[in-house]
Amino acid sequence: MKEKLDQLIGEVDMRQDELIQLLHKLISYKTPAPPARNTEEAQQFIASFLKEKGFVIDKWDVYPGDPNVVGVLNGTYSSQFKSLIINGHVDVAEVNEDEEWLSDPFVPTVQDGSVIGRGAADMKGGLAGALFAIQLLHEHGIRLPGDLTFQSVIGEEVGEAGTLECCKRGYKADFALVADTSDLHIQGQGGVITGWITVKSKNTYHDATRKDMIHAGGKLFGASAIEKMMKIMQALQELERNWAVMKSYPGYPPGTNTINPAVIEGGRHAAFIADECRLWITVHFYPNETHEQVAKEIEEHIHLAAQGDIWLRENPPIFEWGGSSMIEDRGEIFPSLEVDGSHPAIHTLMNVHERIIKEKAVVDVSPTVTDGGWFGDAGIPAAIYGPGSLRHAHAVNEQVSIEQLIQYTKVILSFIYKWCHTRK
């Protein structure tokens, strides 16, 4: 095994120009989300690439113009050896017209040892490395005894969870590796859920009636929904402070669990008392929590706060949580993911990383979120491991180090080979 792996790893060095060219090809497909609905061509390229390597292809539209691609390479002894999912998203962050890129963000360039282009770090670098590893295995006629599944999904940038659709479709494995931006750290993650809190009056009033609802003797039981939302926001801040004091998780700075009042909408126009106000919040929670749990905590706290206000007692706040798309329904969920440090796949990945990189593997938690949580949610052990730094992801002149891309490709090649040769 060692001799064969050493030969394959040596080819990554000798053929790094091909690896870089593959990354260039992936970046050249314009797949920003938003606007989304633009991944068909890129996904067809990946589907054809995998089919040529012997994978059975499943391609279906999650949204029109945005298909998922899943390729399955059945192992020679599937029932006896471990199976693996390699997962990545083909959509990239949006590009604004006023951003000062060195060149067209979808015409990649090489400068100072890095590939520059939208998606280089997040996360077409990870896709390119994994695909090139698969190419080398195929070219050398290596038949893996365990099943290998490759998932190229859509929608991660806007919460559309192409990975969730793969889980719903029944794809499973003994381990899943998400090739997203991690600077070659092996990572879990916290979670995110968005929610809308609505304060709504049962009645609508002309703005001239305000004096009757706020001054002595007016006898009009009414209120501005905007002003009442201020009390809701204060209650959220109190809960956020309590979480920062009472909750913690190893590897996270204190207070990483936040409740962000992101968007507020309210009122009709200046001639009305505001009869409705909606607050859009983003909640970050720790890897050992669930989105259902934190949503319940918030609702219970806000309902108690509302009971302390005479008007809110009669007009209680309404909650809507999550959503399947930031584009379609202005909501999203990213479940959390805890990495099991004792899992055999984690040990295998750590050993491979240390052998190739010549540095101790770092197992920690990502400060952002990926699709990795959907695997944890589905009961599939998983971790995030990919090239690129978060400071480059989504940035103007987004880039990935060629040296790190080569290192990643060697590691993922070795990990695929070793894990799929591990007996169940």
| pLDDT values of the chain reduced to their tens digit, one per residue, 424 residues | 778 889 999 999 999 999 999 999 999 999 999 999 999 999 999 999 999 999 999 999 999 999 999 999 999 999 999 999 999 999 999 999 999 999 999 999 999 999 999 999 999 999 999 999 999 999 999 999 999 999 999 999 999 999 999 999 999 999 999 999 999 999 999 999 999 999 999 999 999 999 999 999 999 999 999 999 999 999 999 999 999 999 999 999 999 999 999 999 999 999 999 999 999 999 999 999 999 999 999 999 999 999 999 999 999 999 999 999 999 999 999 999 999 999 999 999 999 999 999 999 999 999 999 999 999 999 999 999 999 999 999 999 999 999 999 999 999 999 999 999 999 9
Angle between helices 402-419 and 2-14 (to 10 degrees): 160
Catalytic residue among 66, 122, 147, 156: 156
Catalytic residue among 91, 147, 289, 338: 91
* Residue 91 is among the residues annotated as catalytic for this protein: yes
What span, in angstroms and rounded, lies between the C-alpha atoms of 203 and 220?
11
What span, in angstroms and rounded, lies between the C-alpha atoms of 19 and 134?
12
Q: What is the pLDDT of residue 3?
A: 85
Distance of CA 330 to the CA centre of its chain: 16
* Residue 300 is among the residues annotated as catalytic for this protein: no
Q: What is the pLDDT of residue 269?
A: 93
C-alpha pair distances (Å), 95 with each of 250, 268, 342: 35, 33, 40
Domains of the chain listed by start with CATH number: 2-189+337-419 (3.40.630.10), 191-321 (3.30.70.360)
Is 334 in a helix, a strand, or coil? strand
What span, in angstroms and rounded, lies between the C-alpha atoms of 395 and 94?
10
Strands 114-116, 109-111: pairing kind: antiparallel
In which residue are the tokens 């309902």 written?
303
The two tokens of residue 356 are: 């190739």
What span, in angstroms and rounded, lies between the C-alpha atoms of 150 and 138?
14
Strand partners, 333: 193
Q: What is the pLDDT of residue 406?
A: 98
Q: What is the pLDDT of residue 411?
A: 98
DSSP annotation of 26 reads H
Q: Is the dihedral of CA 9, 15, 16, 21 positive or negative?
A: negative
- Which amino acid is residue 109, in one-letter code? T
C-alpha pair distances (Å), 133 with each of 85, 171, 356, 359: 14, 21, 15, 21
What span, in angstroms and rounded, lies between the C-alpha atoms of 401 and 413?
18
